[in-house]
Structure 1
Amino acid sequence: MIDLDEIDRDLLRELSRDATQNAGALGRRLGLSQPATWRRIRRLETAGILRGRRLHLDAEALGFGVTVFLGVKLVTKGQVDLGDFERAVSAIPEVQTVEHVLGLYDYRLRVVARDIPDFERILRRRIMTLPGAGAVEANVLLNEERRPGPIG
Protein backbone atom coordinates (compact mmCIF):
# COMPACT_ATOMS: atom_id res chain seq x y z
CA MET A 1 0.00 0.00 0.00
CA ILE A 2 1.33 3.42 -0.91
CA ASP A 3 0.18 6.89 0.05
CA LEU A 4 -1.49 8.68 -2.83
CA ASP A 5 -1.15 12.43 -3.12
CA GLU A 6 -3.50 14.68 -5.08
CA ILE A 7 -1.35 14.41 -8.23
CA ASP A 8 -1.55 10.60 -8.07
CA ARG A 9 -5.33 10.83 -7.74
CA ASP A 10 -5.54 13.25 -10.68
CA LEU A 11 -3.33 10.93 -12.72
CA LEU A 12 -5.61 7.97 -11.93
CA ARG A 13 -8.69 9.99 -12.88
CA GLU A 14 -7.11 10.97 -16.21
CA LEU A 15 -6.05 7.38 -16.98
CA SER A 16 -9.46 5.99 -16.04
CA ARG A 17 -11.04 8.50 -18.43
CA ASP A 18 -8.62 7.67 -21.28
CA ALA A 19 -5.83 5.14 -20.75
CA THR A 20 -4.39 5.78 -24.22
CA GLN A 21 -2.87 9.13 -23.20
CA ASN A 22 0.91 9.17 -23.24
CA ALA A 23 3.06 10.41 -20.35
CA GLY A 24 3.85 13.68 -22.13
CA ALA A 25 0.18 14.62 -22.62
CA LEU A 26 -0.70 13.53 -19.09
CA GLY A 27 2.22 15.52 -17.68
CA ARG A 28 1.16 18.69 -19.51
CA ARG A 29 -2.37 18.27 -18.17
CA LEU A 30 -1.12 17.72 -14.61
CA GLY A 31 1.76 20.22 -14.62
CA LEU A 32 4.49 17.54 -14.57
CA SER A 33 7.36 16.67 -16.86
CA GLN A 34 7.10 13.54 -18.98
CA PRO A 35 9.75 11.67 -16.90
CA ALA A 36 8.03 12.62 -13.62
CA THR A 37 4.69 11.43 -14.98
CA TRP A 38 6.24 8.19 -16.20
CA ARG A 39 7.83 7.56 -12.76
CA ARG A 40 4.46 8.05 -11.09
CA ILE A 41 2.78 5.65 -13.51
CA ARG A 42 5.50 3.03 -12.88
CA ARG A 43 5.16 3.51 -9.10
CA LEU A 44 1.38 2.99 -9.34
CA GLU A 45 1.90 -0.13 -11.48
CA THR A 46 4.51 -1.56 -9.10
CA ALA A 47 2.16 -0.98 -6.16
CA GLY A 48 -0.57 -2.89 -8.02
CA ILE A 49 -2.91 0.11 -8.23
CA LEU A 50 -2.64 0.23 -12.02
CA ARG A 51 -3.03 -3.21 -13.55
CA GLY A 52 -2.88 -3.04 -17.30
CA ARG A 53 -4.76 -0.84 -19.69
CA ARG A 54 -7.84 -2.03 -21.48
CA LEU A 55 -9.48 -1.08 -24.67
CA HIS A 56 -13.26 -0.70 -24.45
CA LEU A 57 -14.95 -2.29 -27.44
CA ASP A 58 -18.36 -0.97 -28.45
CA ALA A 59 -20.51 -4.12 -28.55
CA GLU A 60 -23.31 -2.36 -30.40
CA ALA A 61 -20.97 -1.11 -33.12
CA LEU A 62 -19.77 -4.71 -33.49
CA GLY A 63 -23.33 -5.90 -34.09
CA PHE A 64 -24.23 -6.97 -30.54
CA GLY A 65 -27.27 -4.81 -29.78
CA VAL A 66 -28.44 -6.62 -26.64
CA THR A 67 -26.67 -7.01 -23.30
CA VAL A 68 -28.23 -9.26 -20.67
CA PHE A 69 -27.18 -9.85 -17.08
CA LEU A 70 -27.96 -13.40 -16.04
CA GLY A 71 -28.21 -14.70 -12.53
CA VAL A 72 -27.47 -18.45 -12.59
CA LYS A 73 -28.25 -20.76 -9.71
CA LEU A 74 -26.53 -24.13 -9.76
CA VAL A 75 -28.78 -27.16 -9.25
CA THR A 76 -26.89 -28.65 -6.31
CA LYS A 77 -23.63 -27.02 -5.34
CA GLY A 78 -22.26 -30.09 -3.60
CA GLN A 79 -22.70 -32.23 -6.72
CA VAL A 80 -21.29 -29.68 -9.18
CA ASP A 81 -17.63 -28.86 -9.54
CA LEU A 82 -17.53 -25.06 -9.67
CA GLY A 83 -14.38 -25.27 -11.79
CA ASP A 84 -16.24 -27.29 -14.43
CA PHE A 85 -19.01 -24.71 -14.58
CA GLU A 86 -16.56 -21.78 -14.72
CA ARG A 87 -14.44 -23.37 -17.48
CA ALA A 88 -17.51 -24.22 -19.57
CA VAL A 89 -19.15 -20.80 -19.21
CA SER A 90 -15.86 -19.00 -19.91
CA ALA A 91 -15.64 -20.83 -23.24
CA ILE A 92 -18.85 -19.19 -24.50
CA PRO A 93 -17.70 -16.19 -26.57
CA GLU A 94 -20.85 -14.15 -25.91
CA VAL A 95 -20.28 -14.30 -22.14
CA GLN A 96 -18.21 -11.21 -21.35
CA THR A 97 -17.91 -11.59 -17.59
CA VAL A 98 -18.36 -14.42 -15.11
CA GLU A 99 -18.72 -13.43 -11.47
CA HIS A 100 -19.08 -15.91 -8.61
CA VAL A 101 -21.39 -14.11 -6.18
CA LEU A 102 -23.04 -14.56 -2.82
CA GLY A 103 -26.80 -14.24 -2.68
CA LEU A 104 -29.85 -15.54 -4.50
CA TYR A 105 -27.73 -16.74 -7.44
CA ASP A 106 -24.35 -18.41 -7.56
CA TYR A 107 -23.07 -16.65 -10.69
CA ARG A 108 -23.69 -13.39 -12.48
CA LEU A 109 -22.94 -13.35 -16.20
CA ARG A 110 -22.80 -10.47 -18.66
CA VAL A 111 -23.91 -11.80 -22.04
CA VAL A 112 -24.01 -9.96 -25.38
CA ALA A 113 -26.18 -11.01 -28.31
CA ARG A 114 -27.12 -9.61 -31.70
CA ASP A 115 -30.81 -9.38 -30.72
CA ILE A 116 -33.35 -11.08 -28.44
CA PRO A 117 -33.78 -14.20 -30.67
CA ASP A 118 -29.97 -14.56 -30.71
CA PHE A 119 -29.91 -14.26 -26.91
CA GLU A 120 -32.62 -16.93 -26.64
CA ARG A 121 -30.49 -19.26 -28.79
CA ILE A 122 -27.42 -18.63 -26.58
CA LEU A 123 -29.49 -19.20 -23.44
CA ARG A 124 -31.11 -22.44 -24.63
CA ARG A 125 -28.21 -24.04 -26.49
CA ARG A 126 -25.21 -22.87 -24.49
CA ILE A 127 -26.00 -21.58 -21.02
CA MET A 128 -28.80 -23.95 -20.00
CA THR A 129 -26.65 -26.91 -21.09
CA LEU A 130 -23.76 -25.95 -18.81
CA PRO A 131 -22.80 -28.46 -16.10
CA GLY A 132 -24.93 -27.77 -13.05
CA ALA A 133 -26.94 -24.89 -14.56
CA GLY A 134 -30.29 -24.54 -12.83
CA ALA A 135 -32.55 -21.52 -12.47
CA VAL A 136 -31.66 -18.34 -14.33
CA GLU A 137 -32.91 -14.78 -14.13
CA ALA A 138 -32.33 -12.41 -17.04
CA ASN A 139 -32.12 -8.63 -16.87
CA VAL A 140 -31.79 -6.77 -20.17
CA LEU A 141 -29.53 -3.71 -20.08
CA LEU A 142 -31.38 -0.60 -21.23
CA ASN A 143 -28.46 1.84 -21.04
CA GLU A 144 -25.15 2.12 -19.25
CA GLU A 145 -23.13 4.96 -17.82
CA ARG A 146 -19.54 4.08 -17.14
CA ARG A 147 -17.87 5.66 -14.15
CA PRO A 148 -14.25 5.36 -13.11
CA GLY A 149 -15.14 4.53 -9.51
CA PRO A 150 -13.87 6.09 -6.32
CA ILE A 151 -10.34 7.38 -6.21
CA GLY A 152 -9.63 8.16 -2.57
Structure 2
Amino acid sequence: MTDLDDTDRRMIRALIDDAGQSAGALGRALGLSQPATWRRMKRLRDAGVFRAPRVDLDHAALGFGVTVFLGVRLATKGRVSLEDFERAVTAIPEVQTVEHVLGMYDYRLRVVARDIADFERVLRRRIMTLPGVGNVEANVLLSEERRPGPI
Protein backbone atom coordinates (compact mmCIF):
# COMPACT_ATOMS: atom_id res chain seq x y z
CA MET A 1 0.00 0.00 0.00
CA THR A 2 1.25 3.47 -0.88
CA ASP A 3 1.29 6.22 1.74
CA LEU A 4 -0.87 9.07 0.45
CA ASP A 5 -0.87 12.59 1.84
CA ASP A 6 -3.74 15.07 1.57
CA THR A 7 -2.36 16.55 -1.67
CA ASP A 8 -2.16 13.07 -3.24
CA ARG A 9 -5.80 12.43 -2.27
CA ARG A 10 -6.90 15.80 -3.68
CA MET A 11 -4.98 15.04 -6.88
CA ILE A 12 -6.67 11.65 -7.24
CA ARG A 13 -10.12 13.19 -6.67
CA ALA A 14 -9.41 15.89 -9.26
CA LEU A 15 -8.23 13.29 -11.79
CA ILE A 16 -11.33 11.16 -11.15
CA ASP A 17 -13.43 14.20 -12.07
CA ASP A 18 -11.34 15.07 -15.15
CA ALA A 19 -8.46 12.78 -16.09
CA GLY A 20 -7.73 14.83 -19.21
CA GLN A 21 -6.72 18.05 -17.49
CA SER A 22 -3.18 19.28 -17.97
CA ALA A 23 -0.56 19.04 -15.24
CA GLY A 24 -0.44 22.85 -15.21
CA ALA A 25 -4.19 23.17 -14.61
CA LEU A 26 -4.13 20.40 -12.03
CA GLY A 27 -1.17 22.01 -10.28
CA ARG A 28 -2.91 25.40 -10.16
CA ALA A 29 -5.97 23.78 -8.59
CA LEU A 30 -3.78 22.05 -5.99
CA GLY A 31 -1.40 24.95 -5.35
CA LEU A 32 1.57 23.14 -6.93
CA SER A 33 3.94 23.97 -9.76
CA GLN A 34 3.65 21.98 -12.98
CA PRO A 35 6.95 20.07 -12.32
CA ALA A 36 5.84 19.21 -8.78
CA THR A 37 2.51 17.97 -10.15
CA TRP A 38 4.30 15.79 -12.74
CA ARG A 39 6.60 14.34 -10.06
CA ARG A 40 3.61 13.42 -7.86
CA MET A 41 1.75 11.91 -10.80
CA LYS A 42 4.84 9.89 -11.79
CA ARG A 43 5.32 8.68 -8.20
CA LEU A 44 1.67 7.58 -8.02
CA ARG A 45 1.91 5.89 -11.43
CA ASP A 46 5.16 4.11 -10.49
CA ALA A 47 3.58 2.96 -7.21
CA GLY A 48 0.69 1.40 -9.15
CA VAL A 49 -1.99 3.78 -7.86
CA PHE A 50 -2.87 4.66 -11.47
CA ARG A 51 -3.21 1.37 -13.34
CA ALA A 52 -3.71 2.61 -16.90
CA PRO A 53 -5.26 5.50 -18.80
CA ARG A 54 -8.79 4.70 -19.97
CA VAL A 55 -11.51 5.99 -22.19
CA ASP A 56 -14.97 5.91 -20.60
CA LEU A 57 -17.34 4.95 -23.40
CA ASP A 58 -21.06 5.67 -23.55
CA HIS A 59 -22.36 2.28 -24.68
CA ALA A 60 -25.79 3.63 -25.64
CA ALA A 61 -24.22 6.28 -27.90
CA LEU A 62 -22.34 3.46 -29.65
CA GLY A 63 -25.54 1.49 -30.23
CA PHE A 64 -25.36 -0.87 -27.26
CA GLY A 65 -28.64 -0.17 -25.47
CA VAL A 66 -28.65 -3.17 -23.13
CA THR A 67 -26.22 -4.07 -20.36
CA VAL A 68 -26.65 -7.37 -18.54
CA PHE A 69 -24.78 -8.74 -15.55
CA LEU A 70 -24.45 -12.50 -15.67
CA GLY A 71 -23.70 -14.75 -12.74
CA VAL A 72 -22.05 -17.90 -14.11
CA ARG A 73 -21.58 -21.09 -12.13
CA LEU A 74 -19.29 -23.62 -13.73
CA ALA A 75 -20.38 -27.25 -13.91
CA THR A 76 -16.85 -28.43 -13.07
CA LYS A 77 -14.31 -26.51 -11.03
CA GLY A 78 -10.78 -27.66 -11.68
CA ARG A 79 -7.90 -25.34 -12.45
CA VAL A 80 -8.02 -26.38 -16.10
CA SER A 81 -11.73 -25.61 -16.42
CA LEU A 82 -11.26 -22.15 -14.84
CA GLU A 83 -8.46 -21.29 -17.26
CA ASP A 84 -10.39 -22.68 -20.24
CA PHE A 85 -13.48 -20.67 -19.30
CA GLU A 86 -11.51 -17.45 -18.71
CA ARG A 87 -9.63 -17.77 -22.00
CA ALA A 88 -12.84 -18.42 -23.95
CA VAL A 89 -15.01 -15.75 -22.30
CA THR A 90 -12.43 -12.98 -22.67
CA ALA A 91 -12.47 -13.59 -26.44
CA ILE A 92 -16.15 -12.54 -26.68
CA PRO A 93 -16.22 -8.82 -27.60
CA GLU A 94 -19.63 -8.19 -25.98
CA VAL A 95 -18.25 -9.31 -22.61
CA GLN A 96 -16.84 -6.13 -21.08
CA THR A 97 -15.66 -7.45 -17.72
CA VAL A 98 -14.93 -10.88 -16.29
CA GLU A 99 -14.72 -11.11 -12.51
CA HIS A 100 -13.84 -14.31 -10.66
CA VAL A 101 -15.94 -14.07 -7.48
CA LEU A 102 -16.66 -15.95 -4.29
CA GLY A 103 -20.25 -16.84 -3.50
CA MET A 104 -23.21 -18.32 -5.33
CA TYR A 105 -21.52 -17.91 -8.73
CA ASP A 106 -17.97 -18.45 -9.90
CA TYR A 107 -17.90 -15.52 -12.32
CA ARG A 108 -19.67 -12.22 -12.81
CA LEU A 109 -19.76 -10.90 -16.38
CA ARG A 110 -20.79 -7.51 -17.70
CA VAL A 111 -22.22 -7.99 -21.19
CA VAL A 112 -23.35 -5.28 -23.62
CA ALA A 113 -25.71 -5.84 -26.54
CA ARG A 114 -27.62 -3.74 -29.04
CA ASP A 115 -30.99 -4.92 -27.69
CA ILE A 116 -32.55 -7.88 -25.90
CA ALA A 117 -32.67 -9.97 -29.09
CA ASP A 118 -28.96 -9.32 -29.61
CA PHE A 119 -28.26 -10.27 -25.99
CA GLU A 120 -30.21 -13.51 -26.45
CA ARG A 121 -28.05 -14.31 -29.48
CA VAL A 122 -24.84 -13.65 -27.51
CA LEU A 123 -26.11 -15.71 -24.58
CA ARG A 124 -27.23 -18.72 -26.63
CA ARG A 125 -24.50 -18.84 -29.26
CA ARG A 126 -21.47 -17.64 -27.36
CA ILE A 127 -21.79 -17.76 -23.57
CA MET A 128 -23.84 -20.93 -23.07
CA THR A 129 -21.47 -22.83 -25.37
CA LEU A 130 -18.35 -21.94 -23.34
CA PRO A 131 -16.40 -24.76 -21.71
CA GLY A 132 -17.69 -25.69 -18.26
CA VAL A 133 -20.74 -23.39 -18.11
CA GLY A 134 -23.39 -24.74 -15.75
CA ASN A 135 -25.96 -22.30 -14.35
CA VAL A 136 -26.38 -18.71 -15.55
CA GLU A 137 -28.41 -15.91 -13.96
CA ALA A 138 -29.01 -12.62 -15.78
CA ASN A 139 -29.72 -9.18 -14.33
CA VAL A 140 -30.52 -6.38 -16.78
CA LEU A 141 -29.09 -2.98 -15.89
CA LEU A 142 -31.86 -0.37 -15.57
CA SER A 143 -29.72 2.62 -14.57
CA GLU A 144 -26.24 3.28 -13.31
CA GLU A 145 -25.00 5.80 -10.77
CA ARG A 146 -21.25 6.19 -10.66
CA ARG A 147 -19.68 7.01 -7.34
CA PRO A 148 -15.96 7.28 -6.75
CA GLY A 149 -14.48 5.18 -4.02
CA PRO A 150 -13.58 6.31 -0.51
CA ILE A 151 -10.45 8.32 -1.26
* Fold conserved between structures, TM > 0.5: yes
Structure 1 residue runs of 5 or longer lacking an equivalent are none
State the 4+ residue runs in structure 1 displaced beyond 3 angstroms: none
Give the TM-score normalised by structure 2.
0.96
Go from structure 1 to structure 2 and tell me whether the alpha carbon gap of 1:46 and 1:78 turns closer, same or farther (over 3 Å shift).
Answer: closer
Query: How much identity, in percent, do the aligned residues show?
Result: 76
Is the Cα–Cα contact under 8 Å of residues 17 and 148 in structure 1 kept in the other structure? Answer: no
Deviation track 1:112-144 (CA, whole Å, cap 9, x = no partner) reads: 000001100100000000001111000000111
Question: Which segment drifts farther, 104-113 or 47-56?
Answer: 47-56
Aligned partner of 2:54: which letter? R
Tell whether 2:92 aligns with 1:92: yes
Go from structure 1 to structure 2 and tell me whether the alpha carbon gap of 1:51 and 1:80 turns closer, same or farther (over 3 Å shift).
Answer: closer
CA RMSD of aligned residues (A): 1.2
Match of 2:19 in 1: 19
Match of 1:107 in 2: 107
How far does residue 80 in structure 1 lie from its aligned partner after superposition?
Answer: 5.5
Tell whether 2:56 aligns with 1:56: yes
Structure 2 residue runs of 5 or longer lacking an equivalent are none
Is the Cα–Cα contact under 8 Å of residues 80 and 131 in structure 1 kept in the other structure? Answer: no
Match of 2:37 in 1: 37
